[in-house]
Structure 1
Amino acid sequence: MDGRTRKPGPDPGVLLRVSEHFLLRRHYEDCRKYALQAQQINPNFTGVTEILAVADVLLAAKPRTSTTTLPDWYEIMQVDRFSQNAYQIRQKFYYLYGILNPSNNKFPFADEAFDTLRDAWFVLSNPVKKVEYDDLLKKLLDNDENLNGKRDDFAFWTVCPYCYYVYEYPRVYLECCLRCPNEKCSKAFTCVEIDRPSVEVIKEGRYICTGFLPVGLQNGNWNPYVPLSNEQVNANVNVNGSDDAGKFVEMMMMMMMMMMMMMMMMTVVLMVLRSRVINRLM
């Protein structure tokens, strides 16, 4: 013994209260982070399992694709997607049912998570509804993948180097100098293409780089990602793969030529008027 006292570790009770704090604000990922830390210190600590179940279900209930709000019932039930194991689905439901039951679980939004779980069970426990849901989910996932592929051909992502807002623009604006749409910035910058962020990153509005962390990013509602809407993409990208971007550039060139012709005509008129004025003065 060297006589030095060991610094006490974090109290799981404090971590659980911090986790509940984030749950109240619907910051489910931060809620899970501190709940898992409490669980590592004491796996049997009262309340950890319950708050994790609430956060997991509500986090899973958030739409995971950019084209639909259809919930992923499999992720909510914590089973493999398109699982055909009815026994596993039933066992998982009974397990979560006991943990999320509001009569036992007093954490915020436990009733909401409980109702979401029952909705998932209503679909996945019915063979007919499950088949219909599986077909719909597959179509939506395939459509989302195809749309993302078309978006890469039609659009690109860039970042304003002054306010760090990240924008998705039609590819015709690549390497162009544009004004930042952020009203608090409004500075001109050159659109340089960057890697496309994932759907989860766009929704959560989080930077992956830990070297840059704006104040309020973790606890506020600030989201610096501004993607094109699906309506904008569908309006500019069709299944036949026609080059709408090329048509847009062609139209812009024609407009510029018309403007140049008008300027030339105005120049000629001004020269004629100038010559007449000079003749009268002489």
Structure 2
Amino acid sequence: METTSTREDELMNIRFDPQPVRLTDRDAILYSLGIGIGDDPLNSRALAYVYEKDLSVFPTMPVVLGSPGLWFQRAGLDFRKLVHAGQTLNVARAIPLDTDMVATNKVTAVYDKGAEKGVIIEVERRLTTEGGDLIATTVSQYLCRADGGFGGTQKQPPNDWQKPDRAPDATVEIATLPQQALIYRLNGDTNPLHVDPERARSVGFDRPILHGLCTFAIAGRAMLAVRKDAALKALAVRMAKPVYPGETLRFDVWTDGPDLRFEASVPARDAVVLAAGTARAE
């Protein structure tokens, strides 16, 4: 019989090959379209991310660069019942185009929540230049709903995020497109959960859901709508509930200089979909 330490060690000791990364204009534009940029074609700020003239890479794009692929099955995890539970991003510098980069991935934490709640696995990714200069760091939290209960020893740190005791300083509403998941999946996440109604129903959803990382990027759009002349340096969320393509998101934002706290909801369902949101834009 497998011991507790053996399974935890197996997951912690997963190794990934370094992933070469090189961005073209087309890659950057497709990502921006996938997160809904361009809904107002006269918005000059948005045009900078979807027009090759003086093109900029939207700052949340490192979360889709340098993925190690579908490693979950190789690790013996039930990919069908896996959901993205949380995401953080720290941006050290603007993401360059037509430049050779390297992404390195490693498992940094394994939190066994129990047989009924699953296991959370954290994977850190560092995106650097070939010379080793840091561009961005991301941490992805995956909730593997069918794989807990082995009695892991690691304890998840408590989240000390608190909603400020005042009205939001800003509210931003962003509508998603009915076909948004179909566009966004072209960035590399082809999980059928986001496109196949039968697959979605088989794992407990009424219909295909929007990629969590797409919702994450839309949060980045909302933060830059509040801090119009700033650069997004950090973004973190807990993914509380799924978003369905076509829904409108409302972001309630509390500001403290360059630091922001936020919560995202779908008013039509009275559902909080992104919780414990923090960002830095300066």
TM-score, length basis structure 1: 0.18
Pick the structure with more helix per residue: 1
Pick the structure with more strand per residue: 2
Higher RCO, 1 or 2 (CA under 8 Å, sep at least 6)? 2
TM-score, length basis structure 2: 0.18
Structure with bigger gyration radius? 1
